[in-house]
Amino acid sequence: MLKMVDIEFIKKKHFREGWSIRKLSKTLEISRQAIRKAINSTDVPKYNLRKPKASPVLGQYHELIKKWLQDDETSPPKQRHTARRIFDRLVNEYGYTGAESTVRRYINIVKSKPREVFIPLTADYGEQAQIDWGKAFLTVGGTLTRVNIFCFRLRASGVAFAAAFPTEKIEAFLAGHQMAFEWLGGVPQECVYDNLKTAVVKRLDKHERQEHVLFSALRAHYLFDSKFCNPAKGNEKGSVENLVGYVRRNALVPDIGWDSFEELNSHLKGWCNKERQLRSLKWEEEKSHLQPLPMQSYVCASIRSTIVSSRSLIAFDRNHYSVPCAYVGQAVYIKALWNKVIILSRDKIIAEHIRCYDQRQVLTQVEHYLPVLEKKPRAVDQAIFVRRLGPIWDKARRLLNATNQTQYELVKILGLFKEFKEETITAAVAKSMEMNQLSFAYVRHLITNSNPPENAAVKVDLPIYLENYRARFPDLTMYDSLAPRGISI
């Protein structure tokens, strides 16, 4: 076989100096057929095997390795043969004497498949948005929390929106859409998703889905279409797939800590505003193609009915929330938002709680139990809603216990929850204990003095024309003439 330098020499003599095939064959003592092949060869040398190379050591185990790999297809992915395990079995069970690298090369050949070809995708302005969830660990309310990031990106302009939630439940999913649409000031024609459990109840076939009824209601309100990717095909919404990591790295590093999810979302919104400015030209074009927002805002909540228990509690999402004791035994409605639980009776809000995402928790409010507490004052010492008020109240309870006033005086102090906020009453209780004057009358006195009623006298600035005015005091001696003689007033 001719080497590359020989082919180069033959080509130069033939094409530059005009040597004939006959002359080259005679001079170089190479057959004419080989000369012609060298002249017609490409610039890139290649070598084609006429038949596979022999594998004298591993060859006898080829069929056995294929069988093991075939059997693995029905096993769990984490319980299949690795190349190392196949090599060990060949050595220990069959006396294989070859190298591990030979086994690995053969396994790669057996497993090799044609690479999938991906088609570049695009969308017109206003046509499509892509949506996904991401996760991050951030300090919220002083606690390291797993935060769920709702990520939304317009396909044409690349403008992105992100919001943080403590959950991926349907209420948060709906609220994420609402926040994104209101921030954009419009709605795209369609949104693309994975097969999210919050949106998809059941896969009917390759393209059809049975959607969650609340998600369908959201689409009916904002008038956009939904489109779902094929399973395990995140590349079909690759625009938003990259957004999850981008938000984590650029908007949430470092973890400076936030007091609440509302504060965290305000931070994310500010970051999104800056990112949108970087795409201002494309954004102006995309904005003009978005559908307008509906006239009315959408309520991102799930609603269900329940009965108030004898403990004046309702059960929701594996937790219990208190309601006023007057509603015990009655049917009420629960309106669950991502951050609140609102309880209604005949369209009247009777209680509102911050939503809890722990389990088996009892969330109570003192004012819900005051009427029954006045009838059962002995329960105040161990009432769950009293024990949870904090260390200042524990100290007050023990102090009143020592003077045998707990049952009545503490109930009267708790009655102030009907008029004032908890932090105001707690501050007054703490100050009254500092003054050794813990009683209902003194606590109320402190509160009313620090919080004057609305109709109390208020200092008013004088008009300019009265600033220099000085009132003259009258001469009161004139009244002496009115008194009997000898008596001075």
Do residues 175 and 338 make contact, with C-beta atoms less than 8 angstroms apart? Answer: yes
pLDDT value for 68? 92
Do residues 211 and 224 make contact, with C-beta atoms less than 8 angstroms apart? Answer: no
Pairing, β 128-140 against β 190-193: parallel
Structure tokens at 344: 């209604």
Cβ neighbours around 128 below 10 Å, total: 23
- Residue among 385, 407, 278 nearest 323 (CA): 385
Lowest mean pLDDT among 107-111, 188-192, 456-460: 456-460
Could you tell me the pLDDT band of residue 450, with boundaries at 50, 70 and 90?
A: confident
Residue 206 CB partners (closer than 8 Å, separation 6+): 230
Gap between the Cα atoms of 126 and 131, Å rounded? 15
Lowest mean pLDDT among 9-23, 163-177, 200-214, 381-395: 200-214
User: Over the stretch 73-95, which tens digit does the pLDDT of each residue have?
Assistant: 888 887 889 999 999 999 999 99
pLDDT value for 488? 54
Whose tokens are 């790669």? That residue is 108
User: Over the stretch 55-77, which tens digit does the pLDDT of each residue have?
Assistant: 788 888 999 999 999 988 888 88
The distance between the two most distant Cα atoms of the chain, rounded to a whole number of Å, is 168
Structure tokens at 284: 């102006």
Residue 470 CB partners (closer than 8 Å, separation 6+): none
User: Over the stretch 332-373, which tens digit does the pLDDT of each residue have?
Assistant: 999 999 999 999 998 899 999 999 999 999 999 999 999 998
pLDDT value for 449? 83
- Is omega for the bond preceding 484 within 30 degrees of 0, making it cis? no
Q: Please say if the pLDDT value at position 224 is more than 80.
A: yes
- Residue among 236, 226, 238 nearest 173 (CA): 226
User: Over the stretch 23-55, which tens digit does the pLDDT of each residue have?
Assistant: 888 888 888 888 888 888 765 555 555 666 777
Structure tokens at 20: 């004939």
Query: In one letter, which amino acid is 478?
Result: M
Q: Please say if the pLDDT value at position 384 is more than 80.
A: yes
